Amino acid sequence: MSADAMLKVEAVNKSFGGVKVVQDVSFSVARGGRTALIGPNGAGKTTMFNLISGVIGMDSGAITLDEARIDHLPARKRIGVGLSRSFQNIRLMPHLSVVENILLGQHSRIGGLGELFAPIGWISSAPARAEAMRRLSEAGVDVDPDAPVAGLPYGTRKRIEVVRALMSQPRLLILDEPAAGLNPRETADLSTFLKSATADGLTLLVVEHDMAFVHGLCDHTVVLNFGRLIYDGPTAGVRDDAAVREAYLGARAATVGGAGRAA
């Protein structure tokens, strides 16, 4: 499987003030596959996401994208090498219109100054705008493209953010809890959309809480617990894995016990 791995995380360590949040974690994300990164609260999955997206730096280890090291690139340069992300709390520009927000995803593809000053907002047939509109309708978002995003429902904004991430034409799309805050229907729609968006070979990595969503979407799952890798295999096998069951049940028992002592 490592032969066609797109993203490789190798022996990564990260501590915050002496607390080891990620310990010696290695896994890979298969090219063209949909991989989930899950774990109980405090497992280090958000830290792992931040290490991959580059928002924080790691203490040791290596992260490679198509065999090229990306761990030394600052976060803002990672979109340029084909790594596009969404945010756990939606980070759209509230005063910009829907289509402008989506076109933002395309900024990493801008070449020269000429492109920066081309009046694309004025020409409704501009290819970039056409691409934005096409992706918007593929995502099943039916809103006025020129309305500001601020007033739109949460689920719609969440999907617009994914569309924006797709506009950079990434090799690898990483999503930070895409289903968080969505109702079951919106979650199902998002899952369908992500399947179709990755149908042409786009590689996907999601960090997620919602197990049903992960089961429906991802073929491969990586589980972290207390900063360590405890499972790396097919999603179908997650529920039957002894270590995973213990992590989830054990974590819950520990939380309950802790709360009991505090009270």
Partner 1 sequence: MTNATAIGAPMKSITTKALVVVVIAAVFALAIALGGRVIAQQIVSGLMLGAIYLTVAVAFTLTIGVLNFLNFTIPSLFMLTGMIAWGLREKGLLGFAGGWAWLVALIAGVVVATAASLVVERFTFRYLKTRHGDATEHAIPLVSSLGFLLIFEHLVILTLGSESQRFSVPFKADIHLFGLVIGAPQLVSLGCALLVVAALTFVLKHTRMGRALRTIAENPEIASLLGVEVTRVVPVLFLLTGLLCGLAAALFTVNYGDVSPFMGDHVGSKAIAAMVLGGIGSIWGAILGGLVVGLTETLSIHFFGGDSVEMIIWGLLLIVIIVRPRGLFGAVAVGKGKL
User: Residue 3 or 113: which CB sits closer to partner 1?
Assistant: 113
Stretch that binds partner 1, among 7-15, 149-157, 179-187, 212-220 (CB under 8 A): 149-157
User: Residue 32 or 145: which CB sits closer to partner 1?
Assistant: 145
- Whose tokens are 């034409």? That residue is 169
User: Residue 26 or 88: which CB sits closer to partner 1?
Assistant: 88
* Under rule CB under 8 A, residue 122 binds partner 1: yes
* Under rule CB under 8 A, residue 127 binds partner 1: no
| 3-state secondary structure at position 25 | strand
Q: What ranges make up the beta strands (E) of 161-227?
A: 172-176, 203-207, 220-225
Tell me how far, at minimum, the Cβ of 213 lies from partner 1, in Å.
24
Q: How far apart are the first and last CA of the chain?
A: 48
Query: Could you give the C-alpha distances from 187 to 46, 53, 160, 175, 183, in angstroms and in order?
Result: 20, 24, 14, 14, 6
In sequence order, the 6+-apart residues with CB closer than 8 A to the CB of 85 are 53, 79, 165, 173, 174, 175, 176
What distance in Å separates the CA atoms of residue 51 and residue 62, rounded to the nearest whole number?
10
- Whose tokens are 């492109």? That residue is 115
Interface with partner 1 in residues 80-119 (CB under 8 A) = 80, 85, 87, 91, 93-96, 100, 103-105, 107-110, 115-119
Compose the 167-186 pattern: x for residues touching partner 1 by CB under 8 A, - for all others.
-x------------------
Contact indicator for 134, 102 with CB cutoff of 8 Å: no
What distance in Å separates the CA atoms of residue 5 and residue 7, rounded to the nearest whole number?
6
Compose the 2-31 pattern: x for residues touching partner 1 by CB under 8 A, - for all others.
------------------------------
Tell me the number of residues near partner 1 by CB under 8 A. 36
Which residues contact partner 1 (rule: CB under 8 A)? 53, 55, 75-76, 79-80, 85, 87, 91, 93-96, 100, 103-105, 107-110, 115-122, 147-148, 150-152, 164, 168
